[in-house]
């Protein structure tokens, strides 16, 4: 006669369900985390006793690490990072989420070999509890550095290859598609695009959205010119497009910085906006309100990207397994289109 199969040990989800709280709250109680009401803490502790739940030792060790530091590692050159308000919004969002914890945010610009080695040494010596990665390009070495550290890692934006287990992203393709459809509804047919770097997922996805919208309308992409997400790069791309396709009647730029550069070149060339050429950006950063004319753009919740990434990292440190997700985008109509 065969031996009885041993019963499965209770899970964290079952504890949360019995206590009628979220998985995150149950994890915080188990790991003695902060910001849990007395009533919820009592309910979770009772559920643990009733079910005979035993916390996973590895998760507990991870959740109770004592450095109190999380790293926001940026793959990009220092001057470019500090000149681009996108990164300031990301940091603001992450800081907001961490305000309710005892964790401190450290920014690492790991752009050179030396900087990458310093970051790896910092992570390997357990100088941090977790990592957030942003602005990854191509086969970015930061991905392997974070993986070798064994620390919980959250991606702000998907890497070019593969899908990590924990990430927060914006709907880049959907936003670019909606912007192009908006221009088509406005009667524009010769729509060019200033694209982002092709070694980034965000650059490729926004170009894909533009192409899909034109294809669905029975049109081919009119003209594309690569940019670098900087205002000067957008200006240079706009000059090239005007020279090659002087009859264009609309431009979608893959971010607001490049759209601002395009507006300047169009004004210098004597083109009216939106009369002769409509211009749409992407991101909805503060610069969109200070261009002349004010910029029609695709809003993505940049601060929310940083805030949700930090929130996910906090959950990982508390022993939970948060879900990754994609934040919605929408067209914000102003004066340029």
Q: What is the pLDDT of residues 77-102, one digit of tens each?
A: 555 566 678 888 999 999 999 988 88
Q: Is 172-299 a CATH 3.40.50.800 domain?
A: no
Q: What percentage of the chain exceeds 90 in pLDDT?
A: 55
- What pLDDT digit, counting tens, does each position of 251-276 carry? 999 999 999 999 999 999 999 999 99
Query: Which of 58-62, 67-71, 279-283 is predicted least confidently?
Result: 58-62
Instruction: For residue 326, name the pLDDT band (cuts at 50, 70, 90).
Output: very high
What's the first-to-final CA gap in the chain, in angstroms? 78
In this structure, what are the phi and psi dihedrals at residue 28, rounded to the nearest 5 degrees? -65, -40
- What does the chain come to in residues? 337
- pTM of the predicted protein model: 0.76
**12-63 architecture in CATH?**
Orthogonal Bundle (1.10)
Name the more confident of 204 and 114.
204
Average pLDDT, the chain: 87
Predicted pLDDT at 88: 86
pLDDT digits (tens, 9 = 90+) for 292-301: 999 999 999 9
Q: What is the mean pLDDT of residues 120-147?
A: 86
- Per-residue pLDDT tens for 218-257? 999 999 999 999 999 999 999 999 999 999 999 999 999 9
Are 12-63 and 69-168+302-326 equal in CATH topology? no
Output the pLDDT for position 77.
Answer: 58
Higher pLDDT pick, 33 / 124: 124
Query: Could you state, in order of their start, the residue ranges of all structural domains in the chain?
Result: 12-63, 69-168+302-326, 172-299
The architecture of the domain spanning 69-168+302-326 is: 3-Layer(aba) Sandwich (3.40)
Lowest mean pLDDT among 64-68, 92-96, 154-158, 329-333: 64-68
Higher-scoring residue by pLDDT: 117, 218: 218
| pLDDT of the residue at 49 | 87
């Amino acid at each position: 006669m065969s031996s009885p199969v041993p019963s499965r040990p209770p899970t964290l989800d079952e504890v949360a369900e019995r206590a009628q709280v979220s998985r995150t709250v149950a994890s915080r109680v188990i790991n003695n985390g902060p910001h849990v009401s007395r009533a919820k803490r009592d309910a979770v502790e009772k559920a643990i006793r009733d079910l005979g739940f035993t916390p996973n030792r590895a998760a507990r060790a991870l959740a109770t690490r004592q450095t109190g530091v999380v790293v926001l590692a940026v793959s990009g050159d220092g001057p470019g990072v500090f000149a681009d308000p996108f990164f300031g919004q990301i940091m603001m969002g992450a800081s907001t989420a961490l305000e309710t914890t005892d964790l401190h945010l450290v920014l690492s610009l790991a752009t050179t070999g030396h900087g990458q080695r310093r970051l790896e040494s910092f992570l390997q010596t357990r100088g941090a509890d977790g990592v957030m990665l942003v602005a990854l390009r191509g086969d970015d070495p930061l991905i392997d550095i974070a993986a070798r550290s064994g620390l919980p890692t959250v991606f702000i934006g998907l890497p070019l290859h593969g899908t990590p287990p924990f990430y927060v992203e914006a709907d880049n393709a959907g936003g670019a598609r909606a912007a192009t459809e908006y221009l088509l509804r406005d009667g524009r047919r010769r729509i060019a695009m200033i694209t982002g770097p092709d070694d980034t997922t965000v650059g490729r996805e926004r170009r894909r959205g533009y192409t899909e919208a034109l294809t669905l309308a029975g049109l081919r992409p009119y003209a594309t010119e690569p940019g670098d997400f900087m205002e000067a790069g957008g200006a240079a791309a706009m000059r090239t497009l005007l020279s090659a396709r002087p009859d264009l009647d609309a431009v979608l730029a893959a971010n607001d910085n490049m759209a601002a550069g395009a507006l300047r070149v169009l004004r210098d060339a004597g083109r009216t906006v939106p009369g002769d050429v409509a211009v749409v950006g992407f991101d909805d950063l503060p610069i969109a309100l200070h261009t002349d004319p004010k910029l029609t753009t695709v809003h993505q919740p940049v601060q929310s990207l940083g805030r949700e990434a930090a929130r996910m990292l906090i959950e990982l440190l508390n022993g939970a397994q948060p879900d990754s997700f994609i934040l919605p985008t929408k067209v914000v109509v102003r004066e340029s289109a």
